[in-house]
Amino acid sequence: MQNRFRLGGVYVSWKRWSFFIPCVVAIWGAAPLGAQVRQNPPAMGIPESPSLVGDTTGLAREAQDWLVELVKINTTNPPGNEQQAAKYIASILTKEGITAEILDLTPGRSAVVARLRSAVVPDPSRALLLVAHMDVVGVDRTKWSVDPFGGVVKDGYLYGRGSIDDKSMLAGNLAAFIALKRGSVHLNRDVIFLATADEEQFGDASLKILIAKYWDKLAAGFAINEGGDVVLKNGKVQYVGVQVAEKVSVNISVTAKGKGGHASMPSKENPVVHLSAAVEKIGNYTAPVHLTSIVRRYFEGLSAIEDVETSKWMRVIDTPDRGEHAQRVLSDMSPMWNSMMRDTIAPTILQAGVRANVIPSDARAVLNVRLLPGDTIDVLVNELNKLVNDPSVKLEVMPDAGLAAPNSSIETEFYGLITKLCAKEFGGAPVLPFLSTGATDSAQLRLHSVQAYGLRPFALTEEDVARVHGDEERLPLASFAKGVDLLTRIVTEFSVTR
């Protein structure tokens, strides 16, 4: 297959690893990436016409320094310790003459918020929220060639945990926000900067809690967050995915109860056997395809740049005669495409037994389900119960489910502006609405009627995206500079009166 790259000793097709790595669910850690061929990131030109706040080259350099410092602050979640990062961000804002407020959540864990006002009386429905999270996932230090919290710059990359997810966005948002202040511009809407905590675990210090406690400080009609990406291949941006919806994570506990006892006299009621049979059936189950309007639009847009064979299938994905076949072919090509078209179920935990010679009286598995927006877990559980068809096996929805949020609209002025500016900045590359298979903070915002758009504006190869949540995470600094420029353009064009 064309466009293959080497990953962990095997060749993998580009399609299988197409771009978006949701921050909460990434499982890339397994691939050993240490022994990569040394390569420099491609140079990314900045358009000649400056943004409304002028040339951003110097600003991007400053933002890079902030980013390096943020990477050095270890915010591995758990425990998070985001307060230290919050204080650092607040100190940068204070130097710019901007009032920053640290919002405490739990001991050692805080968010930070700041606002540039457009009028004495704010209109939250018009306000623009720039959001990024400060916490990062853990590292396996033995797999890193540099200190993951050292802020090491080499060969044109910043190495470090969080250098992409999500401190790049944090520093980029900070730059765009500060550009407005320095430019003494006339704002036509309030712009709010927000750095959140606990995005990776959605626990006691997450945006959900922050909203419950401090909504009046954050309320906005529009937001820009992580969740979509700029897909770079062979030095060229292939396309830009703007996340407007996301799947919902729900865990199901599967318990088999049976007869425990001495392993020398097994019976047919061994719960390990019953559980295994149930997990095998569930693991092989494929939920029906449900094409959402966003996913239709996505494939339609992508068909313009794919190879002849792939685009042929993409174009007939929704037709009565060839649709089903096309859905099957595309599902086989890419796990992400498969997951964008249907609910998925991944068994992730198995627990049973304490001794080799004792049959346990129960056995348990956990399934991680990713529901399409609009699908309900009860329907799926019914299906699975029918499939398992074993009275000794019980399925229960666990209480930590994500919440289904409405899509952000692709008809808003803001979405149109993002599309226009991305296409301009990246040489006319298609800009597509995107349903992410993983969860972000945007679901919480969408539940509060915020039109939230996911776009991490830094052009990344799939090889670099694969390091997110994995080993040797690194950000190409040329992409960072260009992304700061893009983000600044998006924010200023939307909020500044010329």
In degrees rounded to 5, what are phi and psi of residue 256?
Answer: -110, 130
Nearest distance from residue 135's CB to Zn ion, in Å? 8
Site string for Zn ion, 65-104 (x = CB under 5 A): ----------------------------------------
Binders of Zn ion in range 453-482 (CB under 5 A): none
Computed on alpha carbons and rounded to an integer, the radius of gyration of the chain in Å comes to 24
Stretch near Zn ion under the rule CB under 5 A, chosen from 97-105, 140-148, 163-171, 477-485? 163-171
User: Between helices 271-283 and 377-388, what is the axis angle to 10°?
Assistant: 120
Residue 170 or residue 256: which is nearer to Zn ion going by CB?
Answer: 170
| Residue whose C-beta lies closest to Zn ion | 23
Per CB under 5 A, 198 contacts Zn ion: no
Determine the distance from the C-alpha atom of residue 429 to the mean position of all C-alpha atoms in its chain, rounded to a whole number. 21
Residue 132 or residue 388: which is nearer to Zn ion going by CB?
Answer: 132
Binders of Zn ion in range 199-258 (CB under 5 A): 226
Nearest distance from residue 440's CB to Zn ion, in Å? 7
User: Between helices 323-333 and 308-315, what is the axis angle to 10°?
Assistant: 130
Stretch near Zn ion under the rule CB under 5 A, chosen from 157-165, 177-185, 239-247, 325-333? 157-165
Nearest distance from residue 454's CB to Zn ion, in Å? 10
Residue 165 or residue 471: which is nearer to Zn ion going by CB?
Answer: 165
Cα gap 62→103, rounded to integer Å: 25
Structure tokens at 267: 């019976």
Query: Are β-strands 157-159 and 152-154 bridged in parallel, bridged antiparallel, or unpaired?
Result: antiparallel
Nearest distance from residue 495's CB to Zn ion, in Å? 24
Nearest distance from residue 131's CB to Zn ion, in Å? 11
Per CB under 5 A, 23 contacts Zn ion: yes
- Candidates 82, 165, 343, 362; binder of Zn ion (CB under 5 A) is 165
User: Between helices 477-495 and 167-182, what is the axis angle to 10°?
Assistant: 50
Site string for Zn ion, 258-297 (x = CB under 5 A): ----------------------------------------
Residue 70 or residue 333: which is nearer to Zn ion going by CB?
Answer: 70
Nearest distance from residue 242's CB to Zn ion, in Å? 16
Q: Find where tokens 């350099």 sit.
A: 61
Nearest distance from residue 492's CB to Zn ion, in Å? 24
Q: Total residues at the site for Zn ion (CB under 5 A)?
A: 4
Look up residue 387 and give its amino acid. L
Site string for Zn ion, 308-347 (x = CB under 5 A): ----------------------------------------
Nearest distance from residue 227's CB to Zn ion, in Å? 8
Per CB under 5 A, 166 contacts Zn ion: yes
Per CB under 5 A, 190 contacts Zn ion: no
b/e sequence 354-393, b meaning 16+ C-beta within 10 Å? eeeeebbebbbbebbbbbbbebebeebbebbeeebeeebb
Instruction: Give the strand order in the sheet containing 474-476.
Output: 152-154, 157-159, 474-476
Look up residue 396 and give its amino acid. E
Length of the chain: 498
Structure tokens at 366: 């956990």
Cα gap 21→467, rounded to integer Å: 9
User: Between helices 477-495 and 413-425, what is the axis angle to 10°?
Assistant: 140
Check if the beta carbon of residue 230 is closer than 8 Å to that of residue 240. yes
Check if the beta carbon of residue 441 is closer than 8 Å to that of residue 196. yes
Residue 166 or residue 472: which is nearer to Zn ion going by CB?
Answer: 166
Q: Find where tokens 């400060």 sit.
A: 134
Residue 165 or residue 190: which is nearer to Zn ion going by CB?
Answer: 165
Stretch near Zn ion under the rule CB under 5 A, chosen from 23-31, 140-148, 444-452, 484-492? 23-31
Cα gap 346→201, rounded to integer Å: 19
Cis amide bond preceding 378, omega within 30: no
- Give bridge partners of residue 371 from the DSSP assignment: 248
Structure tokens at 445: 């915002």
Stretch near Zn ion under the rule CB under 5 A, chosen from 6-14, 21-29, 32-40, 473-481? 21-29
Residue 134 or residue 384: which is nearer to Zn ion going by CB?
Answer: 134
Nearest distance from residue 133's CB to Zn ion, in Å? 6
Residue 26 or residue 329: which is nearer to Zn ion going by CB?
Answer: 26
**Residue from 50, 88, 70 nearest 179 by CA:** 50
Cα gap 419→417, rounded to integer Å: 5
Per CB under 5 A, 195 contacts Zn ion: no
Nearest distance from residue 26's CB to Zn ion, in Å? 9
Nearest distance from residue 333's CB to Zn ion, in Å? 26
**Residue from 80, 168, 68 nearest 456 by CA:** 168
Residue 82 or residue 166: which is nearer to Zn ion going by CB?
Answer: 166
Give the residues lining the site for Zn ion (CB under 5 A): 23, 165-166, 226
